[in-house]
Amino acid sequence: MIEHESGLPPIDRKVIKEVEFQPFMSWGLVEQWADGIPSFSDMDTLHPEWRPTPVIPLDLTSDGYGEVHVKNEADTESNPTGTIKDRAAWELATLYRDYARALYEKVKVGNLTKGEVERTPVPKFSMITAGNEGRAVAACFEKHDLPPPKLIVGLTTPESRLHTLQQLRADVYQVDLSRQALTAEEIMRLSNNPGGIDITSVRSIEPNAIFYDWHVHEAFNEQPDEIYVPYGSGRLMENYLIWQERTIRNESNRERDKRLRAEPGKIVSINVLGGEPVKPDSIADKLTARFKPFLIFNDSDISALARLDFTGRETEKVHVAEERIQEAFNIFQRHKVEAEPSAAAGLALYLERFSQGLIPKDKKILVVNTGRGIDFEETENV
């Protein structure tokens, strides 16, 4: 058990698995990470790790709804583990590339010696995960020979999912996440990561801007009127909103992002709607963390962006009923779209708004399927 610094009872923790990795940096690692993890300078070039995920037109008139376009993050030719979390995993891997280059540059100008580098502890990342992000990060880090990520999962994690996580090249810890919000310091202690970095909470790397920026621009270039996304950690919706605002700022500075193929006025007119389960024990269990202490955009931030016309005037986060999530998941299954229930929350919100008569026929609707999920094999035949 680990004492909670607020004076609450000790926090239970179970060490499921830990993987050996060298404790200190070496010059070989510096060169390997600095040169071996790709980078690019031409913004017109496709991302080196994936091609844009496909957009699937779905006619839902037989289901009682309209036509939508599904941005399919389950496509494994784009995302290796079949979820949008592969994009965030890549961005985390590039932190090690840039860290190694920083060490190299300091040695180059004489502010560090190679000997000092080799006495530097290897930085390790800790994170709380429901499964998908942990799997994506572990796979990406293994590919580039990066330190195994330190994954904290809840005590209620299904045994099948826990078994899958145990097969990863990752450290895995099980913690009661229902009692209180954990601080960054507690997350690092619970994951045996003194001096490490808690990716769940850190904001200096701009997770609200970089985790899904390529996905966001791909979606913008479809020029939809409305975009529907699942809302869990909030990071996906935050990325949409920050890039709507930055599109106008870039335009003001005459620095339009080269990835953008649509007019800025069209971009900031898009309604971005996040669907969040109303039930705490929803089948969309990747979206139901009891505590979300590390949100960057809260409800007032979202409404402020709408009032300033940096986003569509109907942009908001909305709770959706369990019945709608189940219906949306069933629709994905009938139309052969590989998804987990959590990935269907955006579609569920679209179904609800359509039923309320809020979607005119001439609107182009983009629904984001965030992916197959770590439990896909078990749910595909539900």
Domains in the chain and their CATH numbers? 13-36+86-198 (3.40.50), 55-83+212-379 (3.40.50.1100)
Most confident of the ranges 38-47, 208-217, 290-299: 208-217
Residue 38: which pLDDT band, with cuts at 50, 70 and 90? confident
Vertex 29 angle, CA 24 and 31, to 5°: 145
The chain-wide mean pLDDT, for the chain, equals 90
Q: Which helix (H) or strand (E) covers residue 247, if one does?
A: helix 235-252
Place of tokens 């579609």: 347
Its pTM surpasses 0.85: yes
> Band of the pLDDT at 357, cuts 50, 70, 90?
very high
- Nearest CA to 230 out of 158, 177, 301, 289 is that of 289
Average the pLDDT over each of 39-48, 72-81, 194-203 and give the range with the smallest value: 39-48
Query: CB within 8 A of 86, min separation 6: which ones?
Result: 49, 50, 78, 79, 80, 136, 139, 140
Averaged pLDDT, 33-49: 66
Residue 39 has pLDDT above 80, yes or no: no
User: How long a stretch of residues is the chain?
Assistant: 382
